[in-house]
Amino acid sequence: MLYLYTPDQPELYSRLLQEALPGEAIACWPQEVDTAAVTHAAVWAPPAGFFSRFPNLRTVFVMGAGVDKLLQRNEVPQDVALVRLTDAGMAQQMTEYCLIGLLRYQRQMDRYAQQQRDRQWKPLDTQLARDVRVGLLGLGELGGRVAQDLVRLGYRVSGWSLRPRWVENVRCLHGEAGLRELLPQTDVLCCVLPSTPETRRLLDAETLALLPDNAALINAGRGSLIDETALLERLDAGRLRFALLDVFAEEPLPESHPFWTHSHVIITPHVAADTVPEEAARQIAANLRAQAAGRPMTGVVDRRRGY
């Protein structure tokens, strides 16, 4: 049996999964079931202790790309496979989100907004896409797609990952040396990395200082990637033009946080890339069929790496 837990649109997900898996027994929380019959779960933000009720659980499908919060919980046995969504309609949304910040920088909309407040009519020099050096942190399923999308739009894209990767028409760097090479050559830094022990506080005071003066920062990955105090200090010092932030160390962002009122920070409430229900159901169904046939599933999480 597949047991579904999602606070948002449970009826829609239940219908889509039943249509994609007509022969599968599917139940949706808070429906009462024989817990011993549950072998698979599809979840988003389940409550503490949720998995402990299912002694025969084999696979957990995470209805999103991030699995860091589940990996921090000890109630999912090591022999239970964790499977994340790969893309599921999120890559295009992530590209669009990065473009919001890129165009704000390239077309100098932040400066024109200040000129409007000052009632100042002053055309600025034209910048073309090819004039903007984009640094992209994260070259996995989502990041690789975003990098290629931005290249097709004419941007000069360099990408970084923890380990070597290859993306067509993208300059790819990796490791500590690669990060130190990338940052000084970046006008707009886009972060789409997951949260892992290796990426937490990757952008601290030391690494943020490697960015050129007046660079911009976009974070659509995870809030733990950035030392928020160090970011604020750099913004206050006028060393960064602006930061577009979708994710934070604490969510929802506390009302007292200085990001809310900072003139060079744009906040969105973790909406850069939402799961598309139809694509999520398709991937879960395909993985269930693959597992039943003894074929490898896509998106299986390596717990050691955290993604």
Q: Tens digit of pLDDT for each residue in 52-92?
A: 999 999 999 998 777 888 888 888 888 999 999 988 789 99
| Mean pLDDT of the region 181-198 | 96
**pLDDT at position 15:** 96
| Mean pLDDT of the region 207-215 | 98
**pLDDT at position 73:** 84
151 φ/ψ sector (left φ>0, alpha ψ -120 to 50, else beta)? alpha
- The set of residues, in sequence order, having a beta carbon less than 8 Å from that of 153 and lying 6+ positions away, is 99, 129
Contacts 24+ apart (CB under 8 A), 72-79: 73/48, 75/48, 75/49, 75/50, 75/51, 76/51, 78/303
Burial of 230 (0-12, 13-18, 19+ CB in 10 A): middle
Per DSSP (E only), the strands in 127-273 are 133-137, 156-161, 171-174, 188-191, 215-219, 240-245, 265-267
Q: Evaluate whether 2-88+275-292 and 90-267 have a shared fold.
A: yes
Of 76-80, 101-105, 176-180, 241-245, least confident by mean pLDDT is: 76-80
Cα dihedral 143, 146, 152, 156, rounded to 10, equals -60
**pLDDT at position 89:** 84
**pLDDT at position 70:** 86
The pTM of the full predicted model, rounded to 2 decimals, is 0.92
Q: Answer with the residue of higher pLDDT: 196 or 132.
A: 132
287 — phi, psi (to 5°)? Answer: -70, -40
- The set of residues, in sequence order, having a beta carbon less than 8 Å from that of 60 and lying 6+ positions away, is 40, 41, 42, 43, 51, 70, 76, 80, 81, 82, 83
How many other β-carbons are positioned within 10 Å of the β-carbon of residue 1?
Answer: 17
**pLDDT at position 172:** 98
Of 63-67, 268-272, 273-277, least confident by mean pLDDT is: 63-67
When the pLDDT of each residue in the chain is averaged and rounded to a whole number, the result is: 95
Q: Which two tokens stand for residue 24?
A: 């599968």
Asked if 63 contacts 90 with a C-beta cutoff of 8 angstroms, the reply is no
- β-strand pairing of 240-245 with 171-174: unpaired
**pLDDT at position 72:** 83
Sheet order of strands, 26-28 included: 26-28, 2-5, 40-43, 59-62, 81-84
| Mean pLDDT of the region 47-55 | 93
Whether 158 has a pLDDT exceeding 90, the answer reads: yes
**pLDDT at position 87:** 80
Catalytic residue numbers read 222, 270
Q: Would you tell me which CATH number, out of the four given (3.30.930.10, 1.10.760.10, 3.40.50.720, 3.30.420.10), belongs to the domain 2-88+275-292? A: 3.40.50.720
**pLDDT at position 304:** 84
| Mean pLDDT of the region 101-123 | 98
**pLDDT at position 262:** 98
**pLDDT at position 256:** 98
Angle between helical axes of 10-20 and 277-292 (0-180°, round to 10): 40
**pLDDT at position 4:** 96
pLDDT in tens, 15-32: 999 999 998 999 999 999
Whether 105 has a pLDDT exceeding 90, the answer reads: yes
**pLDDT at position 57:** 96
Proportion of the chain above pLDDT 70, given as a percent: 100
**pLDDT at position 31:** 92
Residue type at position 186: T
Every domain of the chain and the residues it spans:
2-88+275-292, 90-267
Whether 234 has a pLDDT exceeding 90, the answer reads: yes
Asked if 156 contacts 134 with a C-beta cutoff of 8 angstroms, the reply is yes
**pLDDT at position 67:** 85
**pLDDT at position 75:** 86
For the chain, the residue count is 307
Whether 243 has a pLDDT exceeding 90, the answer reads: yes
CATH topology of domain 90-267: Rossmann fold (3.40.50)
